[in-house]
Structure 1
Amino acid sequence: MLLLTLLLGAAATLAAEGGQHWTYEDPVLTIRSHTSCFCRKASPHGQDHWPASYPECGGNAQSPIDIQTDGVTFDPELPALQPQGYDQPGPEPLDLHNNGHTVQLSLPPTLYLEGLPQKFVAAQLHLHWGQKGSPGGSEHQINSEATAAELHIVHYDSDSYDNLNEAAQRPQGLAVLGILIEVGETKNPAYEHIISHLHEIRQKNQRTSVAPFSVRELLPPELGRFFRYNGSLTTPPCHQSVLWTVFSRRAQISTGQLAELQETLFSTEEEPSELLVHNYRAPQPLNQRVVFASFIEVGPSRTTAEMLGLGMGILLGCLCLLLAAYFIARKIRKKRLGNRKSVAFTSGRVAAEA
């Protein structure tokens, strides 16, 4: 009986630590058999089935969410986040790991956040993305619009807890920064510190070392505009312990960098290799939670291209108005000159007849 109790306890601990198999989707897997034919086998471990193995994944404060800007609450007392130590993580190389679900970069505790109720030190960052030829890839959405990818920087409350695992199981034990990533025209040198090493960790559980670089440059330039809400981890065991900060401004990577992210890594250790793609969770119900905003202008976000197009449209509109005003004024001036000449001619004619 004692042995059985110990085994059940170990199984529960394993489940709580994410030891059970899970996937993002419920695909029909294609497997090559010894006869070289392809057999199809269902895999019931996707998002819809997470609560069966990880009950907290069915909770009422789950992440990610679709942030509807017309329903957020402006909070003028939300202080701006101030990342400390982000510019230089220190001299030691950083560990880059393909864990089969994402690419994860370890971060030293010299990186921490100011502007939150407690001191939150950094532990790791990771990425979520879609797949080639399909839109979307971010976990959070703003006004039902997803971006190509999303970066998460995970911190834990070091004032109250000794490590990340302990903090993850406590209310507001974690603070995660969410950075939406869109596709731009140029390569992003900061993200290249990660993407350029992906070929070294193609298979699950492979690791490599990355020279320290400025993590601050992974973030958007403007950090004062953000959304804040209480949520959860977006992967099992889905602990509802996260204080989320999702920035309104976006980071950018090039089309080539996104392609490398979508086409380089595998989610398996052995053949047949399965491409690591579509590793994002669908938006979860907001339920009774409130999403706060640090800024008032909470209309739909616009991309850089949209803003440039809007600016060009306004400029062209102003030029058209100026041209129209110029031609109208010219026409009025010509008409006035014509009237003056007519008056002068009439006056001269009357004088001559007199």
Structure 2
Amino acid sequence: MDSLGLFMLSLLLCSQWTAAPAAEEITWSYTGSVGQWQWPEYFPDCAGTSQSPVDVVTTQTKYDPSLGPVTPLGYDQHNNRPFTLYNNGHTVGLELPEWMGLGGLPWLFTAVQLHLHWGSGGPGRGGSEHTINGLSADAELHVVHYNSELYPNMSAAVTQPDGLAVLGILIVAGEETNPAFNNILSYLSRIRHADQKTLIPAFDVQSLLPKDLRRYYRYNGSLTTPPCHQSVTWTLFRERVQISKAQLIKMETMLHSSRAEDDDGKMLQDNYRAIQPLHHRVVLTSFSAESGEQLSSGEVTAIVIGVMCGCVALAVVVRFIVKTIKFFTLLHNDSLAVNSSTSSWDILPSNRPAPTPRVKNPEKEPEKIQDVVLNCTSDGEKKEEPTSSPQTEP
């Protein structure tokens, strides 16, 4: 009886063990029965207090002057050996050679792989995992490294608090094509379905990164996919990388999350995790807002051009105002001059001389003049007579 009971107990335990698959065997997805909202039920770390991604609120970040530039090591040294590109049903990834690493952190980190996250519906619909001040980008690139100073490999490092370092690059869609991303996007047709791999020509991986590696946000977080181990030191660059709209649409519409033999043919889209609470964590910055160092060269150029355009516009407005004032001043002066020249006699009628009477009979006028002359002469003679003294007789 005891043996039978022991056998039955062992059988029950065995059935329970078989019924509860290991976390590594669970097929998770971003939606569905094991979607991201159900991850904590199957992967306990996904319910932790240091999860990723997060929303970076710039007014709540803290400047840390000890954060120096991030230094990619060997990113441009591919030795013409081909890279392996794959579709794992969750993302498109690229295996990186072990000679690539990352400096500028407390330990040396060795590169493992890079992968992408995106949305659906084209530009402006979101797709990045991290957001800044609540605004998402169109896609996001992650470059994953493990701490090769403290741990022998990725498997040993992934569960340790200081085990991983991931670079986060926000991607936005614009008009210009990004040649660096074509090194990946041009070969997506070879890995349309999950579990497919292909070899692609090696290229300079650093060309995928932003040019400014000095300004970034730093915080402690987790993997953004199950099992969500909280082992990542995140570096999220402030400068965004631009690809073309056509490149973004190719990323969103080329791949499937299902295998080639599956009938559903489900598109691989919206493979980004929702924003997680920050809790007690503080996001650090490598740049000071007060010093103005947070402005990239492109932003400085835009500001300079804007100021110059503003100055030109102001000069045009001022010149227009001055010309308008001069025009109305001259118009007013001309009006005064015209009024003074045409109506001065009307203003001062008492100063006008009396009109000369017209001569009615011009023929008799010489006679009148002669009579006047004779009268004047006779009057003169008459006035001279009294002046002569009379003669007296003896």
Query: TM-score by structure 1 length?
Result: 0.82
Against the structure 1 CA distance between its residues 166 and 156, is the aligned structure 2 distance closer, same or farther, given a 3 Å change threshold?
A: same
1:164 maps onto 2:170 in alignment: no
Cα RMSD (Å) of the superposition? 3.4
Higher share of residues assigned helix = 2
- State the distance in 1 between where 2:239 and 2:179 align: 18
1:294 maps onto 2:300 in alignment: no
> How far does residue 90 in structure 1 lie from its aligned partner after superposition?
2.7
Query: Out of 121, 130, 144, which is 1:132 matched to?
Result: 121
Matches within 5 A, 1:1-354: 1=10, 8=17, 14-15=22-23, 18-26=24-32, 44-133=33-122, 135-269=125-259, 270-297=262-289, 313-327=306-320
Aligned length: 322
> How far does residue 191 in structure 1 lie from its aligned partner after superposition?
0.5
The CA deviation string for residues 118-147 of structure 1, in whole angstroms up to 9 with x for no partner, is 000100000000012570000000000001
> How far does residue 320 in structure 1 lie from its aligned partner after superposition?
1.8
The code of the aligned residue for 2:25 comes to G
Percent identity over paired residues: 47
What residue is the counterpart of 1:350 in the other structure? none
Against the structure 1 CA distance between its residues 9 and 175, is the aligned structure 2 distance closer, same or farther, given a 3 Å change threshold?
A: farther
> How far does residue 61 in structure 1 lie from its aligned partner after superposition?
0.1
The code of the aligned residue for 1:21 comes to T
- State the distance in 1 between where 2:80 and 2:192 align: 26
What residue is the counterpart of 1:342 in the other structure? none
Higher share of residues assigned strand = 1
The CA deviation string for residues 239-297 of structure 1, in whole angstroms up to 9 with x for no partner, is 00000000000111111111110001000111111000000000100000010001123
> How far does residue 183 in structure 1 lie from its aligned partner after superposition?
0.5
Against the structure 1 CA distance between its residues 66 and 137, is the aligned structure 2 distance closer, same or farther, given a 3 Å change threshold?
A: same
- State the distance in 2 between where 1:51 and 1:145 align: 26
Q: Is the CA contact 1:81–1:115 (under 8 Å) kept in the aligned structure 2? A: yes
- State the distance in 1 between where 2:19 and 2:225 align: 21
Question: Which residues of structure 1 form unaligned runs of 5+?
Answer: 27-43, 339-354
- State the distance in 2 between where 1:240 and 1:150 align: 20
Q: Is the CA contact 2:212–2:296 (under 8 Å) kept in the aligned structure 1? A: no
- State the distance in 2 between where 1:90 and 1:216 align: 14
- State the distance in 2 between where 1:164 and 1:4 align: 33
Query: TM-score by structure 2 length?
Result: 0.74
Structure showing greater Rg: 2
- State the distance in 2 between where 1:54 and 1:65 align: 19
